[in-house]
Structure 1
């Protein structure tokens, strides 16, 4: 176990979360887990909102009413804090419920024509693929799926495979920063540079990146970047953001059109109807907690634990790590012994067997007729959890 100052990472960190201590939780990357301190901040905000709901929502939350009693509306104040965390300006960032919502905002704002193409990769998140397919089909455009290698030996393989798929008909490229199933940290800046040279805008799906890896969005060279704060940035569920380059903002609209229409990028997104804004407003408290625990130390601990898991389990099961260490963040996806099966049904059976028979939560995936396990390493995990997973899996070989 290690940490920073008086903070010691490992299972004793579970006291900061409401997670069931009887479960070995190796699945932080799926929907996140919010610390108690952040949940308390969110509850305090809810109670404040309910004491004066109209004032809170209609006069303090956004600048839409023009009658705010606050010098900076609550959402803009929170957006500034998040923007600083990701190296951006608050005026270029809006809140969305999750990265999928951010992706939909960009896709539904495209002016696609027949024969246009949207480029996406085989490693993209399934919901994002569905959204891109839906928008393409409505416009009579094509969704082009580029095959990126996995397992792979180096980043250059991905960049070259992606660059070769760009064509004069490509109107948007959708790229992951960290892939969901395979957990790879993609060479986003290099891939975006290929698009920029061809005049093709890039939408980056950074669902797993904020809090997991250092992030300076403007330096990536993308046009749109959407990320979740409820995963590795410790915010409550339903807290994501969408960053948009200034020159792209005039043509972008939220999926829900409301009272801010025509009043500018932030105005349109800051009010999309009555809803609970406290996940967004709690984000600064979550970022403060990351800093309190030591953000660099957290990232280092989680990365080292994920890579230790990769080395230990692949050696134990007779494989090589499926990607170099530089492409591993806080998660790693590893092949399981072939005797465990090769179908989605077998993957689902094993995942629930691990949960209900061994009290262990980890996603089991099926790719290329092989089962894989994705391990999320958070500061409440330690190497003993990986050993527990290995022993549980080996019960079914």
Structure 2
């Protein structure tokens, strides 16, 4: 049975503007995939010819019409989460009405079957096994379960992480001292300069030295695309290096899935946390925990419940989920796939380069990511000379918003000091990032006075 969006909504969910459940829901991965495909097919008339060139302003303007965005500001802070495309939002609203109407009748009797189908659809999207993933409320929840649950550590083993890793993950790695008797070690990334940008070779050398200096390392945290500066690291080669030295690798892929075109399996990491509400465009509260099925026993069941279970779903307990949010994931995946990850990545990097290239020439301003296309996506941070404190960067962020109407965000975490992160979205325009360049030019020419 094929399962179209109209069939899903017309046969069961929508009747004269109200929801009248008829017991019709996609029951497995194929039906959810059919639903997702039909969902996108219904959108074809509102989307331009795909794939789009990065500089096709008319085409990307047509894509942007699928997003409802406030006109109060120019939003260049799109890394917190990604807003849903309007068709996905509409679907989420319908599903919320459905869940609200059917309540526990659906949750108790039908959701388990629904969850299985959604899980299989997500697994297909990520190119992993359905028995290797569990749906979560976000990457943070997934990674906390992976870090806290990793049971191969012995007292005195080193657990290694870096200053550019996500704050909550650094906290979780530090907690392993109390949890497992481990020895947490934080290493500091080299800072780029105008004359010496970071390269993949330098990043590989950095991790090789970190592992050599800490030969007792048994667990390494890597962040594919970090949230502080936006740099992408060569995960597959670092993971191979770490494994050869006897260290397991946990990967934070919160920002890379949907923003960067890659195959999760090819990264060679057995434990991964993913967000679907950032660059895939699912509702807030959608993430994934991945465990290579050959390594599932290396992660404790949640609070040691279900001892002996080899099910990944027993490695996390999210409580009562937002059912509608997770049921909207196939629609979000469908919309995302219609645009294409590679096309998204090209557009986002194009918008990033439009502001970074002129900003690099401004006196007293340092761009914290390289220009190598393999090492950057949408996110890029900058730092003004001498502006390193949280207070000073908060003031700069406020000045950009109050004076120029541009929303950015201060990031704390790099050992060299705070910075300002800039993140366009696929609804952003060339004018948006050029507006930022003018603002930065004014600020740097004024001697950083604000």
Distance 1:115 1:237, change over 3 A: same
Runs of at least 5 residues in structure 1 that lack an aligned partner in the other structure: 63-72
Note the 1:199-238 alignment, pairs <5 A: 199-238=246-285
User: What is aligned with 2:311?
Assistant: 265
- Match status 1:139 vs 2:186: no
1:328 and 2:373 equivalent?
no
Structure 2 SS opposite 1:348: helix
Matching residue of 2:203: 158
More deviation in 206-215 or 74-83? 74-83
Q: Distance in 1 between matches of 2:415 and 2:210?
A: 22
Which residue of the partner structure matches residue 295 of structure 2? 248
Structure-to-structure mapping, 1:14-29, within 5 angstroms: 14-29=64-79
Q: Paired residue for 2:36?
A: none
Counterparts of 2:310 and 2:171 in 1: how far apart (Å)? 28
Residue aligning to 1:130: 171
Aligned with 1:293 (options 339, 351, 354): 339
Measured in 1, the distance between the counterparts of 2:290 and 2:157 equals 24
Partner SS, residue 178 of structure 2: helix
Provide the rounded CA distance (Å) in 1 between the counterparts of 2:51 and 2:308. Answer: 51
**Which sits farther off after the overlay, 21-30 or 46-55?**
46-55
Structure 1 position 159, deviation (Å): 1.2
The residue aligned with 2:162 is: 121
Single out whichever of 360-369 and 133-142 deviates more from structure 2: 360-369
TM-superposed CA distance for 1:79, in Å, is 1.8
Provide Cα deviations, 1:263-283, integer angstroms capped at 9, x if missing partner. 542442686432322222211
What residue ranges of structure 2 are gaps of 5+ in the alignment? 1-46, 53-57
Contact in 2 for aligned 1:333/1:373 (Cα 8 Å): yes
Determine the C-alpha separation between the residues in 2 that align with 1:298 and 1:92.
27
- Contact 2:252–2:273 at 8 Å: present in 1 too? yes
Cα distance change of structure 1 residues 294 and 124 upon mapping to structure 2, 3 Å threshold: closer
Equivalent residue in structure 2 for 1:34, among 84, 109, 124 = 84
Matching residue of 1:45: 95
Verify the 8 A CA contact 1:303 1:377 in the aligned structure 2: no
CA distance in structure 2 between the partners assigned to 1:95 and 1:227 by the alignment: 9
Taking structure 1 as reference, are residues 373 and 10 closer, same or farther at Cα in structure 2, changes over 3 Å only?
farther
Post-superposition offset of 1:316: 3.5
2:16 equivalent in structure 1: none
1:230-281 Cα shifts (integer Å, max 9, x gaps): 11111111111011111221343565777x6755424426864323222222
In structure 2, the CA distance between the partners of 1:371 and 1:311, relative to structure 1 (3 Å rule), is: farther
Question: Paired residue for 2:129?
Answer: 89
Q: For 1:274-313, list aligned pairs within 5 A.
A: 274-313=320-359
Q: Which residue of 1 aligns with 2:143?
A: 103
Secondary structure of 1:315 counterpart: coil
Q: 1:371 to 1:52 in 2, by over 3 A?
A: closer
What secondary structure is seen at the aligned counterpart in 1 of 2:185? Answer: strand
CA distance in 2, matches of 1:106, 1:219: 20
Q: Give 3-state SS (helix, strand or coil) of 1:209's partner.
A: coil
Q: Which moves more between the two structures, 168-177 or 267-276?
A: 267-276
Asked if structure 2 preserves the Cα contact closer than 8 Å seen for 1:3 and 1:301, the reply is: no
Name the larger-Rg structure: 2
Aligned residues: 383
TM-score, normalised to structure 2's length?
Answer: 0.78
Given that 1:93 and 1:244 are in contact with CA atoms closer than 8 Å, whether structure 2 keeps it comes out as yes
What is the distance in 1 between the residues matched to 2:312 and 2:179?
27
